[in-house]
Amino acid sequence: MALFGSDNKTKNSLDGLWIKCNNCGEIIYKKEVEKNLRVCPKCNYHFRLSSREWIDILMDQNSFHELWPDVESIDPLDFKDRTRYRDKLKEAQKQTGIKDAVVTGYGLINELFVYTGIFDFNFMGGSMGSVVGEKIARLIETATAAQSNLLIVTSSGGARMQEGIFSLMQMAKTNAALSKLNRSRTLYIVLLTDPTTGGVAASFASIADIIIAEPKALIGFAGPRVISDTIGQKLPDGFQRAEFLLEHGMIDMVIERTVIKKTIAQIIRLLGMTDKKTGQP
């Protein structure tokens, strides 16, 4: 299992055999954290994972098959600030080894067939542009046609500003695809990881049949600082964290990473299609 990728929150960690937890500040033996699926054994802090690391954790060995891996943005607005958008894309592709911020495909979770899309925060903050929206929409449509289980793992800062309205359109586009999936009575599960914000949180991430979150994940449309400044009030402790949303009925469960694969498989057995060959291309 290829743990300890290029996630932004590990850049401040110590090199070599030890790692510093970003939450409690403890110095921990790196192999101990790896064995615990990159969860701090001292404070239960869940380090961010890349899309490939999530595939290693969730999918049965060698069962995952990627769909549409070569789809990439054409920079529709020819956007430039300090650097050109197309140059930022190339740099992100070089650093992560993927074309955009979501990896889509199909495979088995404890021998149960599922279509899945997994966000990668390392790719421009997991932001949703036209490519992310297109791949998610295609994934939803494919799962709908096959009437097969759908799982999306989110980690995103929201819409990608470099694509302007093309990015915002993806919220409506993905939700329209989900309306068809809902009519087909196909099981749709979302796993919200830290952070899931902006346009992703305000669209397909919030309307699944079952919404799961990792402990302490930040989930919401605008960030708590922005909200506090806007309304001029101090927000409650833990506002927009997974446990707060669970308490207020916004999500269904908060699950530890070490048992998340088992939990998703149990949900599929109860509510979804259990024939592992169902829906396979």
Q: Delimit the domains of the chain by residue range.
A: 1-47, 48-271
CA–CA gap between residue 75 and residue 9 (Å, rounded): 28
227 falls in which pLDDT band (50, 70, 90)? very high
Average pLDDT value for residue range 21-43: 93
- Give the closest residue to 258 by CA, choosing from 49, 17, 15: 49
Mean pLDDT of 19-32: 92
| Mean pLDDT value across the chain | 92
Give the DSSP H/E element, type plus range, for residue 173. helix 164-183
Q: What is the per-residue pLDDT for 279?
A: 58
Is domain 48-271 classified as CATH 3.40.470.10? no
Percent of the chain with pLDDT over 70: 93
pTM of the predicted model, to two decimals?
Answer: 0.91
Both tokens assigned to 165? 């309205």
| Euclidean distance between CA atoms 141 and 174, whole angstroms | 9
Task: Taking each helix axis as running N to C, give the angle between helix 51-58 and helix 260-271, from 0 to 180 degrees, rounded to the nearest 10.
Answer: 60
Q: For Cα atoms 13, 7, 3, give the angle at the middle one, nearest 5 degrees.
A: 85
Task: For residues 154 and 145, give the distance between their C-alpha atoms in angstroms, rounded to a whole number.
Answer: 23
Average pLDDT of span 88-106: 97
pLDDT tens digits, 162-213: 999 999 999 999 999 999 999 999 999 999 999 999 999 999 999 999 999 9
